[in-house]
Copies of this chain bind each other. A is one copy, B any other.
Amino acid sequence: MKPTIEWADGKVVMIDQRRLPLEEVYVECGTVEEVARAIETMVIRGAPAIGVAAAMGVALGVSALKPSADLTTEFSKIVKRLERTRPTARNLFWALERMDRVFRESRPLPLADLKARLVEEALEIEREDEAICRRIGTNGADLVKDGDSVLTHCNAGGLATAGYGTAVGVIRSAWEAGKKVRVLVDETRPFLQGARLTAWELEKIGVPYRVIADNMAGWLMQRGEVSLAVVGADRIARNGDTANKIGTYTVAVLCRENAIPFYVAAPISTFDFSLSDGSGIPIEERPAAEVREVNGRLIVPPAAAVRNPAFDVTPARFITAIVTEEGIVRPPFERSLDALRGRS
């Protein structure tokens, strides 16, 4: 199996996450526009993976520029197009800012060298992301005990990153350390990232799991069938407020009610230090069809209106700890994150 996303012969190749788990199909993007649309339509999703895709999109866009082009103007257009894809994922903007820095530093170089430098940076972001996920996994593995039943929501696995995953990385790392863990996977409507993607990944790595409808987690917690919950993140404010897939807030509230630890696992690139709290995080509202249909078939009356907020914000007070590549951050998050920020 190929990786989630890959730079191959001057193209960006992604596994089409809309068609998993029943079909393994790969999408080849040859232009910035194709990468942007792949992100928008969720061929690829997951904040860290979106960051990698955006970086590769920039590299692809600049690669196509002619010597006669106004480089600065064209670069700005490329970045702006990619910025418009998904508003919530901090890693998208982080990756674009990083590519922008490299572009400015390398602007004086001959065009061929500038292009090579941007491709190199995108590949570096990809390599780093997988290494970071492995460190998150190692750091978080101690939170999972032998015999634990771990609940996860959405997909924060290899498919959501350059590889290995964040929340799934924590579970996987505990599993690889010999702990017998079982996973409860929220199906995660409307896009079914849990049922389709997390289940598919756990199946491949051999970790026992069961898929549940999102509304079942509370009851299983009440019955003592959940030891801890671990999820990924799309954007984390300075105080620890965390935007993640819609339904995460509900999981966190249920964990608090049932005295179950609730962990977030995310790379430092997910933190938005410009935001004092979660109220400033933009929440994407996605197309109605995602709620109205499953597998392209209508599940509501034809005239039905729906809501489709793609993310929610979990207030920091519900979060037991945040697992990063630099270590586990505990409340008060603002102070712990300042220390971390100084380090990284």
* Chain A interface residues (CB < 8 Å from chain B): 21-22, 153, 184, 186-190, 192, 195-196, 199-200, 203, 208-220, 222, 246-247, 249-250, 253-254, 257, 291-292, 294-295, 297-309, 312-313
Contact = CB atoms under 8 A, between A and B. Distances in A.
A213 B189 contact: yes
A306 B189 contact: no
A187 B22 contact: no
Contact of A291 (B21, B211, B218, B250): B211
Contact of A246 (B187, B216, B306): B216
A217 B250 CA distance: 8
Contacts of A210: 304-307
A301 B189 CA distance: 16
B195 A300 contact: yes
A21 B301 contact: yes
Given A187-B291, A214-B215, A199 B249 contact: no
Contacts of A302: 22
Contact of A299 (B184, B195, B304, B313): B195
Nearest to A217: B250
6 contacts: A184-B307, A211-B307, A212-B306, A213-B291, A216-B307, A219-B250
B300 A297 contact: no
B211 A213 contact: no
Chain copies in the assembled complex: 2
A312 B187 contact: no
A215 B196 CA distance: 17
Nearest to A218: B250
A188 B214 CA distance: 9
A104 B247 CA distance: 52
A204 to B, nearest CB: 9
A301 B199 contact: yes
A299 B183 CA distance: 18
A295 B298 CA distance: 9
Contacts of A184: 307
Nearest to A184: B307
Contacts of A247: 213-216, 218
Given A21-B301, A187-B291, A217-B250, 17 more contacts: A22-B298, A153-B215, A188-B215, A200-B301, A210-B305, A210-B306, A211-B304, A211-B307, A212-B306, A213-B247, A214-B215, A215-B215, A218-B247, A219-B250, A219-B309, A222-B249, A295-B299
A279 to B, nearest CB: 11
A301 to B, nearest CB: 4
Q: Kindly name the residue among A195, A208, A298 whose own CB sees the greatest number of chain B CB atoms within 10 A.
A: A195
Given A196-B299, A253-B253, A299-B294, A312 B213 contact: no
Nearest to A248: B215
A303 B190 CA distance: 22
A189 B215 contact: yes
B218 A187 contact: no
Nearest to A312: B219
B305 A203 contact: no
Nearest to A189: B213
B214 A213 contact: yes
Given A199-B301, A220-B307, A301-B199, A213 B246 contact: yes
